[in-house]
Amino acid sequence: MQVLIVEDEELAVRKLHKAILAADPTMEIAGVTDSIQATVDWLRAHPAPGLIFMDVELADGQSFEIFNRVEVASPVIFVTSYDEFALKAFKVNSVDYLLKPIQKDELEAALQKFKRSISSNAPPYNLEALLRELQSKLQPREYRARFLVKQAQKLVSVEVKDIAYFYSDDKMNFFRTFDNRRFVVDYLMDELEEMLDPKRFFRISRSVFVSAESIVKIDDYFGSRLVLQLKPPLEKEALVSREKVSGFKVWMGK
């Protein structure tokens, strides 16, 4: 079966591509588009794929606009960090709604649901059934409110709202508060990604998460990247990696 991926972050495309083929090696990635217009053009130029994985936030707007510009005959699995879009997503051809970072079991469950709908000749996007299943997903997700960290010979609790950014340095992970205190944090960066509210923190690279309040200045940087000036200052360059730039701009605009 041919699959179209609509996603504007290169790293996310690679991860999703790998995850799809791991879940079902018979699927073929027929194309990848990174914007509303590119997706509309692709759908007009190609036969409808068997399935579309579609990010909600693209560089040129929300992907729901695609459905206003071209007929989308394929079922869709939406992928996004923002569950506020869930109800809107399910009003179009949605099989399921996956929150980033995508969990293997959730992806496999979404594909199984899609396959069952095909084998039973039932529409994979029955709105009432999907909305019933969505109720549990719409429960507000709880993110970390504080971290318990070591300070000298004691433990202290630091509120997340007081943290400017997280970063890796010499195989250790730290966070720095707005009043310029540094603490070691005993979690991997990937673990932090699941703990931190994506509205408050953005992962600009593999080794840095920043809060919007910590950003003083944003400049262009070679290699289609951005460099940030942070407060308090970070000991190394705070670079927004090339595959993160589009998502970062959307996040900063919220």
Please report, for the chain, the start and end positions of each structural domain, with discontinuous segments joined by +.
2-134, 146-252
Give the rounded distance of the alpha carbon of 146 from its chain centre: 23
H helix runs in the chain, sequence order? 10-23, 36-45, 65-69, 86-89, 104-119, 127-134, 189-195, 245-252
Beta strands, E only, the chain: 2-6, 28-33, 51-55, 57-58, 61-62, 76-80, 94-99, 146-151, 154-159, 163-169, 172-177, 182-184, 201-205, 208-211, 215-221, 225-230, 238-240
Torsion 103-85-247-40 (CA) sign? positive
209: closest CA among 173, 181, 182? Answer: 173
pLDDT in tens, 69-119: 998 888 888 887 765 555 555 555 566 767 677 778 888 888 887 877 776
- Residue whose token pair is 């000749």: 121
Residue 73 is predicted with a pLDDT of 85
Question: What does each of the 254 residues of the chain score in pLDDT, given as a tens digit?
Answer: 899 999 988 888 998 999 999 988 999 999 999 999 999 999 999 999 999 999 888 878 888 889 889 988 888 888 877 655 555 555 555 667 676 777 788 888 888 878 777 766 555 555 445 445 544 554 556 789 999 999 888 999 999 999 999 999 888 999 999 999 999 999 999 889 889 998 899 999 999 999 999 999 999 999 889 999 999 999 899 999 988 888 898 888 75
Give the rounded distance of the alpha carbon of 116 from its chain centre: 27
Q: How far apart are the first and last CA of the chain?
A: 36
Residue 168 is predicted with a pLDDT of 94
Question: In the structure encoding, which two tokens stand for residue 176, read together?
Answer: 């720095």
CATH number of the domain located at residue range(s) 2-134 in this protein: 3.40.50.2300
Let me know the angle formed at the C-alpha of 7 by 84 and 64, rounded to the nearest 5 degrees.
45
- Does this chain's domain 2-134 share its CATH topology with 146-252? no
Q: Report yes or no: 52 and 76 within 8 Å, Cβ to Cβ.
A: yes
CATH class in words for 146-252:
mainly beta
Residues 6+ apart with CB under 8 A from 128: none
Residue 125 is predicted with a pLDDT of 52
